[in-house]
Amino acid sequence: MNYARTALLLAALTAFVLVLGWMLGGKTGLVIALLAAAGMNLYAYWNSDKMVLSMYSAQPVDRSTAPLLVGIVERLTARAGMPMPAVYVIDQPQPNAFATGRDPEHASVAATTGLLAMLSPEELEGVMAHELAHVRNRDTLIMTVTATLAGAIGMLANFGMFFGGNREESEEGGGALGTVGTILMAILAPLVAMLVQMAISRTREYEADAAGAAMCGNPLALASALARLEQSAGAVPNAVAEGHPATAHLFIVNPLTGSGLAQMFSTHPAMASRIERLQALAGLAAAPARGPWG
**Predicted structure pTM score:** 0.78
**d(C-alpha 86, C-alpha 105), whole Å:** 10
| Kind of pairing between the strands at 59-60 and 86-90 | antiparallel
Q: Is the pLDDT of residue 32 over 50?
A: yes
pLDDT in tens, 175-224: 555 565 666 666 666 676 666 767 777 888 999 999 999 999 999 999 99
Q: Is 125 a catalytic residue?
A: no
Options 74, 123, 125, 131, the catalytic residue: 131
b/e string for 150-178 if b means 16 or more Cβ within 10 A?
A: bbbbbbbbebbbeeebbeeeeeeebbebe
Binding site feature residues for Zn(2+)? 130, 134, 205
* DSSP letter (8 states) at residue 108: E
For the chain, what is the mean pLDDT?
81
Do 244 and 55 contact (CB within 8 A), yes or no? Answer: yes
In this predicted model, what pLDDT tens digit does every residue of 245-277 receive, in sequence order? 878 888 999 998 865 444 545 678 999 999 999
CA distance 140 to 131: 9
Confidence of residue 6 (pLDDT cuts 50, 70, 90): low
Q: Residue ranges for the binding site?
A: 130, 134, 205
- pLDDT value at position 118? 97
Residue 147 to residue 123: CA distance in whole angstroms = 29
Q: Give the Cα-Cα-Cα angle 89, 92, 94 (nearest 5 degrees).
A: 115
pLDDT at 135: 95
Across residues 232-242, what is the average pLDDT?
A: 90
